[in-house]
Amino acid sequence: MPRWNLVVDRQRTELEIAYGYGRALGFFLEVRSPGGRLVEYDALGDRYDGLPGLVDALIESGVFQRDQVEEALEAMLTVDSAAEVEDLDIRQIAMMVERLKKAAGE
């Protein structure tokens, strides 16, 4: 089961993100802050909606903003690899989506 970790700094707070894809959990995401878990998303939850739901969970938890996600998805149409995206936040989003799609065989 592919799993990746990422740390982002938001308003002087480090958010720890674990995400991946597995047959039993589908696309999964966990976001933690120093105060505890902000979000947990996987196929075992009631609100599961695949990769689009994971992206929404990133936005709802404040990890990324909707316009950043939209910019990342647009950038993925114009580059060969997400690693080519210059802006750090946009590149992180694009790399997450790229990794998740590859892990799920999409």
pLDDT category, 46, cuts 50, 70, 90?
A: confident
Instruction: Give the pLDDT band (50/70/90) at residue 12.
Output: confident
- CB neighbours of 92 closer than 8 A, spacing ≥ 6? 6, 8, 64
Q: How far is CA 67 from the centre of its chain?
A: 14
- Look at residues 82, 92, 75, 90 and name the one whose alpha carbon lies nearest to residue 19: 92
State pTM to two decimals. Answer: 0.90
Distance of alpha carbon 100 from alpha carbon 52, whole angstroms: 11
